[in-house]
Chains A and B, each alone.
Chain A
Amino acid sequence: MAEQIIFYILAALIAVFSVLAVTSKQIIRSATYLLFVLLGTAGLYLLLGYHYLFAVQIAVYAGGVMVLFIFAILLTNRPGENVKAERKDRRIAAGITSVAGLAFCGHIIYWNVNKAYTLLVPAEQKVQDIGLKLMGTEKYQYLLPFEFISVLLLACIVGAIMIARKR
């Protein structure tokens, strides 16, 4: 009962704020709406029982990425200036594209997805299991991608410094 009410509140929040984030005239407001969407997504992870993902989403997205966004907006935006949108015909074409895609995928979900699946009892996910699977080298274990991510992060740090430093 409480789960359903929380889910529908979160779903309405995410839908409204994700539409507002891409239609708002001022870019700093868009970033704020994006922050609300990311927090709502973290709420969905919590509702599904993935507590670790909830923490990661809050820390990485709502913490790190949003700070990057706000710094970039403050560095590149002239005050009092609205964001220009594309020409009107292009905006209409974009709207038609996204509504058509929404209708198509919504039709597929409506007719095909709900036939077979119901939610089983959510099992409590232990952080110990996550650690063991993340560090194991056997089947369904993820040491290699973990190391790739670390190399990717290193390359990303070096690349970002190289690109953004003053010459």
Chain B
Amino acid sequence: MGDLFSNFLTGSVPIEAYLGVSLIMFFAGVYGFLSRKSLLMILVSIELMLNAADINFVVFNRYLYPGQMEGFFFTLFGIAIAACETAVAIAIIINIYRNLTSVEVGEIDEMKE
């Protein structure tokens, strides 16, 4: 980490700076996932965590294997899968709201139909 300060504005951005950003994003997502009651807030937290994982794929690809594109494609497919998952989850949430008029996890305790 000494390099981080000596090269603060001269060298290239160190890999652990990128990893630190995604680390903060991921654990903010973990905190929101555990501490919120609304299903939509839980979904926001999941988006944060997926996004942090995508950043890690790209950063490892760029820094460790710059000639290859594996991390790039994992991120591309990860974004597509996250979009799918969000669409289905929001459909389920809207359906739950229509049936139970609430999106709080504590109040959803019966299976409709």
1/0 contact string of A126-154 vs chain B (CB within 8 Å): 00011001100000101001000100110
Complex interface: chain B residues within 8 A of A122 (CB): 62, 66
The listed residue (A75, A83, A85, A117) touching B63 by CB distance below 8 A is A117
B-facing mask of A3-31, CB < 8 A → 1, else 0? 11101101100110011011100010011
B29 contacts A18, C-beta separation under 8 Å? yes
Are B72 and A50 in touch, CB under 8 angstroms?
yes
**Which of B16, B30, B40, B84 has a CB less than 8 Å from the CB of A114?**
B16
Q: How many CB-defined contacts (below 8 Å) exist between A and B?
A: 236
Chain A nearest CB: distance from B3 CB in Å?
6
Q: Mark A38-52 against chain B: 1 for CB-CB distance below 8 A, else 0.
A: 100100110111101
Pick from A19, A86, A123: contact of B35, CB below 8 A: A86
Given contacts A34-B48, A105-B23, A109-B16, contact A72 B90 (CB under 8 A): yes
Q: Tell which of A65, A73, A84, A110 touches B40, judged by Cβ atoms closer than 8 Å.
A: A73
Contact A37 B92 (CB under 8 A): no
Q: Which residue of A lies closest to B51 (CB)?
A: A41
Contact (Cβ within 8 A) A119 B12:
yes
Assess the A61–B79 pair: CB atoms within 8 A: yes
Instruction: Say yes or no: B64 contacts A117, CB within 8 Å.
Output: yes
CB pair B72 A164 closer than 8 Å: no
Selected A-B contacts with CB under 8 Å, 24 pairs: A11-B20, A14-B25, A18-B28, A22-B41, A27-B41, A31-B40, A44-B21, A49-B62, A65-B47, A65-B83, A72-B93, A83-B36, A85-B37, A86-B34, A86-B35, A99-B27, A109-B19, A109-B20, A118-B63, A119-B62, A120-B63, A140-B69, A152-B80, A159-B88
